[in-house]
Amino acid sequence: MSLSLDRLVGDDADVLADRDFRMLLLASLISPMGASVVSPVVESLTGPYGVSTAEAALLLSAFTAPGIVLIPLSGVLADRYGRKPVLVSGLALFGLAGVALTLTTDFRVALGLRLLQGVGYTGIGPILITATGDLFSGARESAAQGVRFTAVGASLTVFPFLAGLLVAFAWQYPFALYAAALPVAAVVWLRFEEPAALGQGDTADGDASATDGDAAGSGGERGDGRGGVRTLLALASDPRVAATLVGRAVPGFLWFGFLTYNSIVVVRLLGGTPSAAGALVAVASVSSAVATTQAGRITARFGRPAPTFAALVVAAGGLAGLALAPSVPVALAAGVPVGAGFSVSLTLYRSALTGLASDDTRGGLVSLGESIGRLGSTGAPVAMGAAVALLADAAGYAAAVRTVSVAVAVGVVAVGGTLLLVGDMGVDADGEPTATAAND
């Protein structure tokens, strides 16, 4: 088993020996369910809720919207009180609100419950990224983020497919899958231990992470709210760091565009079934899981900027391929580049942000990046829906969906490439901090 992991992940496969990291992997199985369970069944929910497809897609935006405001708060709380209380609370709220969706056909109530789920998520995804950065640094951290994303990919392989199957029996059944978050919350509470020496500038594997001068000078005490905020704002105001933060939104915009329209393309435009739409998300997720195992090797050999841009190009090509697919099998094949490109670009962005801050500001910077990423995720269904509605009268619904999806693919490459040119991805090809990460 160890030899197989070494071949797949590289020399840093031993990150799996860390018990706390294994707890983070368990929680990572839950983190993508907020969107992945709903995505394959968007078209199927229009009847029970009595809404249009565009309105049903708001269930995705309602989930992502709270993160725009609350993710930075979760980062501050995690830096002040620890990762575990925030993570466990997030898992519990996420699971309870999700299960409650089985009890109502009122669309307004469903949107409210999705908002509550989104609040819960703000204590899950960003904290998992931050805690992984606490445990490891350098290429090992990139490898660990990749392995964690592989766990996310495994979840995305199973739960969307199950949702697509379950909705054929009853519209409520997919939402029952959210109950899985509750036992995971209990296990994490009992078994996860906070990384030692948080706020002292050391990672759990003994290597110094990239430090921030002001944070080091502040005495390194977790919970120094005013000093931490000033340090975080100073770091985020650097144009290169700011470009990296904004760039974090690009993969999410593309992915949520895919999640919003995959069931519409498969079911409405190509005459497929909800289970086929779930299979498309599963295909993308398998590709995602496999691709992210290589994040450590990619970082060690090529650095981050060039691979990140290449991954965005691959993902954009997949989205355009889905939009133009003439049949369900071709649409399924398009899921491969979408998943691989999205996961690699997102993993490298997240890894870059964890390396641009000290232990005392990592939670805040990562959470700020996740909040900005949520802007992209929330905006994709709304912006694409508005553009489709605008074009549908003149060109027809099918042509509008395809045109807007291709335009998004082109925009992702153009905007993502520009931000990468301006930004600082944190390490060079040898895995060493760049000037911004080392000196700011």
- How do residues 78-130 score in pLDDT, each as one tens digit? 878 888 999 999 999 999 999 999 999 999 999 999 999 999 998 998 888 88
Closest CA to 138 of 31, 15, 24: 15
- The CATH class given to the 7-198+223-439 domain equals mainly alpha
**pTM for this entry:** 0.67
Q: What gap in Å lies between CA 64 and CA 114, rounded to an integer?
A: 9
Tens of pLDDT, residues 186-238:
999 998 887 654 544 333 333 333 323 332 233 333 444 444 567 777 778 88
pLDDT of residue 12: 55
Q: What angle do CA 301, 305, 306 make, to 5 degrees?
A: 70
pLDDT tens sequence across 396-412: 989 999 999 999 999 99
Q: Is the CB of residue 389 less than 8 Å from the CB of residue 54? A: yes
DSSP-based three-state secondary structure for 42: coil
Give the pLDDT of residue 434.
Answer: 46
- Which of 297, 342, 302 shows the shortest CA–CA distance to 35? 342
Lowest mean pLDDT among 48-52, 123-127, 426-430: 426-430
CB 116, CB 97: distance < 8 Å? yes
Task: Report phi then psi at 427, rounded to 5.
Answer: -140, 155
For the ranges 72-81, 236-245, 259-268, 323-332, the one whose mean pLDDT is highest: 323-332
Indicate if the pLDDT at residue 289 is higher than 50. Answer: yes
* Residue 180 confidence (pLDDT): 94
| Residues 147-184 pLDDT 10s | 887 788 788 778 888 888 898 899 999 999 999 999 99
- Residue of 180, 182, 210, 239 lying closest to 357 (CA atoms): 210
Helices (H), 396-440: 397-422, 435-439
Given a cut of 80, whether residue 276 has pLDDT beyond it is: yes
Distance CA 75, CA 364 (A): 5
